[in-house]
Amino acid sequence: MRQINMYYLLGSFFISVSLVEAQNLNTAITKDTNNLGYKLKNGGRFYFQARSYFSSTFNKGELTDYYAWGIGAGVGYETPKLLKHFQLGISSFSVFNLASSDLTKADPLTNQVNRYEIGLFDIEQPEKHQDLNRLEELFIKAHLGKKSKIVLGRQIPQSPFINIQDGRMRPTLIEAAVLDLPEWKNLSLHAEYIWEIAPRSTMKWYSVGQSIGLYPVGVGVNGEPSLYKNNTFSAGVGVLGINYRYKAWNIQLWDNYVDNLTNTGLLKIEWRSNYLTQNNWLLGIQLLRQQTIGNGGNQDPAKAYAPKNNSANIVSARFGKQTPKFTWFLNATRIGNEGRYLMPREWGKEPFYTFIPRERNEGFGNLSAFTMNLIYKPATNLKLEMNAGYFRLPDVKDFQLNKYAMPAYTHINMSLNYQFKKYLKGLDLLLLAMRKDPTGNTYQNPRFIFNKVNMTHLNLVMNYQY
């Protein structure tokens, strides 16, 4: 009912604006351009995106390999300011499976399904190859001052824990009320209340509780398969962010409150040596504290997303040098052994400095990660990047601190990003190659290897937008 009322509100608002603009036209017709139709056609912003994504995963020995090629296109429109303060926006996207392995078929040795390629389409309907459509944005934006605004409806997420995680065909989106207040010179505030989420790799919108468990759920602290899918209850997510910038310093404070599940606080402090130039030494630290609230999602502990009394303390640090052509970083993250760090993978990538695309450290405790980033830009439209890391995890049989039975591993990513110019401006190409190998004990059990380690993963992505 709440969703229907919101769409009714959007439609009623648009009609009201149209009537007011028409009345203004009848009282003062001076030019043919002074009408609502002209303003919507010439003053608004149309945007278009087309995407081609080829993905392939090569597993060890007799374990199943996979491939998939998806394409898609979408269009959106944002009106100019109406009644001096308001804008409306809408967008949609369609995805097609051009060719792929059988993504519904489990690997015969492990009885586990594909992990990466299935995410190009709809993980709830892996057998469906076409007509995968999603209404993505639908919002009212009200401008409150010179820079401040409030946005109500379906939109792109902007917080550290709930973000677009744009590593498949379509990103994560939220239905929310979002307030941005950047009115002060050095200080800005950000607040959100989220009641629905459309996770990456899905074509539907879900309540906050229903959105949790669409991805693999791992095991509970007792070692049995988790049962929180379709059994998690939450009234929504509240997000509050404070960003303070002063000369070389940038300080951010975030709180992510998930009703009846978890509360997560993040403090991030960064210092740059020459903040007025693009040539900087950088030091950064992140401090995170998380704890279970309510009943963790369900009164039955076996069906709860977050175990009762679970908590996590995390520190992540970075040191490096940034220049216009070459950037390098050394990073480290430590998750304490008090409990698992939990944040639904359906909602976004983790904010830690040690994050490397195509793998997460969510679901683990007693973790130590060390990574290095090398970024080289020989031209303004060409970027070469290497990310390498060592991730020491608890033993795969330590169920209390290892939710996904992931062995300790090394991780290397090599990528090339090229942005076309002139006639093809707006087109960019990404080539990514990833390799993961175990350093922890896998007990020669293929379930601890398949789609986790001893694997190579390749992506070729072409994206065009204007």
Residue 16, pLDDT > 70, answer no
What tens digit of pLDDT does each residue of 392-438 get? 999 999 999 999 999 999 999 999 999 999 999 999 999 999 999 99
Please tell me the least confidently modeled range out of 13-17, 143-147, 450-454: 13-17
Residue 58, pLDDT > 70, answer yes
Residue 362, pLDDT > 80, answer yes
pLDDT band per the 50, 70, 90 thresholds, residue 6: low
pLDDT confidence of residue 25: 46
pLDDT confidence of residue 167: 82
pLDDT confidence of residue 352: 98
pLDDT confidence of residue 17: 47
Residue 10, pLDDT > 70, answer no
Q: State the average pLDDT over residues 450-463.
A: 98
Predicted TM-score (pTM) above 0.85: yes
Residue 376, pLDDT > 50, answer yes
3-state secondary structure 2-59: HHHHHHHHHHHHHHHHHHHHHHHHHHCCCCCCCCHHHHHHHHCEEEEEEEEEEEEEEC
pLDDT confidence of residue 146: 86
What tens digit of pLDDT does each residue of 239-253 get? 999 999 999 999 999
Residue 14, pLDDT > 80, answer no
Alpha-carbon distances, residue 418 vs 202, 302, 428, 432 (angstroms): 28, 48, 6, 12
Higher pLDDT, 39 or 451: 451
What tens digit of pLDDT does each residue of 299-337 get? 999 999 999 999 999 999 999 999 999 999 999 999 999
What tens digit of pLDDT does each residue of 110-137 get? 999 999 999 999 999 999 998 899 999 9
Quick one: which of 300, 308, 394, 413 has its CA closest to 355? Answer: 413
What tens digit of pLDDT does each residue of 188-210 get? 999 999 999 999 999 999 999 99
Higher pLDDT, 5 or 124: 124
pLDDT confidence of residue 43: 79
What tens digit of pLDDT does each residue of 142-175 get? 999 889 999 999 999 999 999 998 789 999 999 9
Residue 108, pLDDT > 80, answer yes
pLDDT confidence of residue 68: 98
In this structure, CATH architecture of domain 44-465: Beta Barrel (2.40)
pLDDT band per the 50, 70, 90 thresholds, residue 15: very low
pLDDT confidence of residue 366: 98
Asked if 452 and 42 touch (Cβ cutoff 8 Å), the reply is no
pLDDT band per the 50, 70, 90 thresholds, residue 22: very low
What tens digit of pLDDT does each residue of 77-106 get? 999 999 889 999 999 999 999 999 999 999
pLDDT band per the 50, 70, 90 thresholds, residue 24: low
pLDDT band per the 50, 70, 90 thresholds, residue 262: very high
Q: State the average pLDDT over residues 286-295.
A: 98
Asked if 453 and 418 touch (Cβ cutoff 8 Å), the reply is no
pLDDT confidence of residue 32: 66
Quick one: which of 386, 304, 318 has its CA closest to 351? Answer: 318
The domains of the chain are located at 1-43, 44-465
pLDDT confidence of residue 5: 55
